[in-house]
Amino acid sequence: MPNESAEPPPPLIVCIDANVMVSALAFGGPPERVIDRLLAADFAHVTGENILAEVRRNAVHKLRLAAGRVDAVLADIRTVSSIYVPMGQTTYIKHAKDNLVLEVALAGSSTVLVTGDRKHLLPLSPFRGLVIEPPSVFLQRLR
């Protein structure tokens, strides 16, 4: 009988929404563990300049976190990520900022979008082959 090996699973390509990164910086918990796994290169990461700018804006200006710490974490994230600049020419949903997040995730061929957005993004899952899930569910996927 020939030895038939199963095909390897498709690569895990992940887009992490800004709200998860901000929560990681401000509060820890599952969002922080997601970022730790990202920095350990446990999966391929896709992000956008829009997402990174939103993280910095919210973490520094709204939550008043130390700019140096935020910038250092964002620099680390940049080194392990493929970065896209959304054009904003495609409308998937009405919420403009979340529309750009979807554009980045799809442009980068993401298989998973990790978000805490219960209003606009989580209810869409699955969306055009993209699984959309919160950090706690994503961490279970990585076990």
Tell whether the model's pLDDT for residue 86 goes beyond 80.
Answer: yes
Any domain includes 129: yes
Any domain includes 4: no
Cα separation of 42 and 31, whole Å? 15
Any domain includes 25: yes
Any domain includes 3: no
The domain total for the chain is 1
Any domain includes 118: yes
Domain that residue 22 falls in: 13-141
Cα separation of 65 and 32, whole Å? 15
Tell whether the model's pLDDT for residue 18 goes beyond 90.
Answer: yes
Q: How confident is the model over 103-124, as pLDDT tens digits?
A: 999 999 999 999 999 999 999 9
What b/e string do you get for 42-81 counting C-beta neighbours within 10 Å, with b at 16 or more? ebbbbbbebbbebbbebbbeeeebeeeebeebbeebeeeb
Summarize the confidence of residues 75-101 as an average pLDDT.
92
Any domain includes 126: yes
Any domain includes 78: yes
How buried is 122 (Cβ within 10 angstroms: 0-12 exposed, 13-18 middle, 19+ buried)?
A: middle
Cα separation of 33 and 120, whole Å? 23
CATH number of the domain to which 67 belongs: 3.40.50.1010
The percent of residues in the chain predicted with pLDDT above 90, rounded, is 85
Summarize the confidence of residues 89-98 as an average pLDDT.
87
Residue type, position 69, single letter: R
Q: Binning pLDDT at 50, 70 and 90, where does residue 128 land?
A: very high
> Residue holding tokens 């939550």?
63
> Residue holding tokens 């974490």?
73
